[in-house]
A and B are shown apart, each in its own frame.
Chain A
Amino acid sequence: GAVVSQHPSWVICKSGTSVKIECRSLDFQATTMFWYRQFPKQSLMLMATSNEGSKATYEQGVEKDKFLINHASLTLSTLTVTSAHPEDSSFYICSARVEREASEADTQYFGPGTRLTVL
């Protein structure tokens, strides 16, 4: 159990276009999902916390208007990179927090990641 999927796994786009990345919890409901960005050989940088039915909470320095997050249901959160530029090229990873049982408390399960390349 506790499987998280991401789609697409990789995407190449032209500068100025928008790209949407989906994150789904397949066998559990998640009121909270997280979006991370990872640069080569570095740790994960938390971009925002996605809350079902409410606005996302962005980390300091992350542009809300550029990285749009929508958590429309208990199993789906989307990240849209608007007007993408080459510096947005990165590996984006989502996670979903399991809240169903005390033994799972606060455990995050991660998607496989999306490699974004902006030309």
Chain B
Amino acid sequence: AQSVAQPEDQVNVAEGNPLTVKCTYSVSGNPYLFWYVQYPNRGLQFLLKYITGDNLVKGSYGFEAEFNKSQTSFHLMKPSALVSDSALYFCAVSPDRGSTLGRLYFGRGTQLTVWP
């Protein structure tokens, strides 16, 4: 069965400090990996994705993520957090590369709070 785990429901960090939001996955084959962010009462915004190539992926708003195949992880990082980064973050996996299915499996989300 396909699954995505975000082990932390909450991550709290001071503004200016680095942040990490963890994600591990269990899927067959070589999946595509995604991070999305959701602000209150809004849809999800695409942040970044890993398809192939360099394991360090850079995305929107200064976020980056590192793909680690051996640990089946795709942690989201940012060197210096902003208060405006406070939101709900979702890791997602697409196990069906290029297929007509294309469905995503989501983690349960991690609430990031950055305090001033």
A113 to B101, CA, bound (A): 22
Query: By the criterion CB–CB under 8 Å, are B41 and A106 in contact?
Result: no
| Bitwise interface map of B from 82 to 116 toward A, beta carbon under 8 Å scored 1, else 0 | 00000000100010111011111011110100000
With known contacts A105-B32, A105-B51, A106-B102, A43–B43 Cβ distance under 8 A? no
For residue B46, which residues in chain A have a CB less than 8 angstroms away from its CB? 2, 107-110
Query: By the criterion CB–CB under 8 Å, are A113 and B109 in contact?
Result: no
B22 at interface by CB-CB < 8 Å: no
A25 at interface by CB-CB < 8 Å: no
Query: By the criterion CB–CB under 8 Å, are A106 and B109 in contact?
Result: no
For residue B97, which residues in chain A have a CB less than 8 angstroms away from its CB? 105-106
A8 at interface by CB-CB < 8 Å: no
Contacting residues of chain A (81-107) with chain B, CB-CB under 8 angstroms: 91, 93, 95, 97, 103, 105-107
How many of A's residues come within 8 Å of B, CB to CB?
26
For residue B100, which residues in chain A have a CB less than 8 angstroms away from its CB? 32
Query: By the criterion CB–CB under 8 Å, are A93 and B32 in contact?
Result: no
Tell me the smallest distance from the CB of A38 to a CB of chain B, in Å: 9
With known contacts A6-B43, A107-B34, A44–B94 Cβ distance under 8 A? no
Tell me the smallest distance from the CB of B67 to a CB of chain A, in Å: 15
For residue A113, which residues in chain B have a CB less than 8 angstroms away from its CB? 41-43
Query: By the criterion CB–CB under 8 Å, are B98 and A106 in contact?
Result: yes
Query: By the criterion CB–CB under 8 Å, are A49 and B43 in contact?
Result: no
Interface residues of A (CB under 8 A from B): 2, 4, 6, 32, 34, 41-44, 46, 49, 91, 93, 95, 97, 103, 105-113, 115
Q: 8 new A-B pairs (CB below 8 Å) besides A106-B102, A108-B104?
A: A42-B109, A43-B106, A46-B104, A91-B41, A95-B44, A106-B32, A106-B97, A110-B44
26 examples of A-B residue contacts, CB within 8 angstroms:
A2-B46, A4-B43, A32-B100, A34-B103, A34-B104, A41-B109, A42-B109, A43-B107, A44-B44, A93-B43, A95-B43, A97-B102, A103-B51, A105-B32, A105-B51, A105-B98, A106-B94, A106-B98, A108-B102, A110-B36, A110-B43, A110-B44, A110-B46, A111-B43, A113-B41, A115-B41
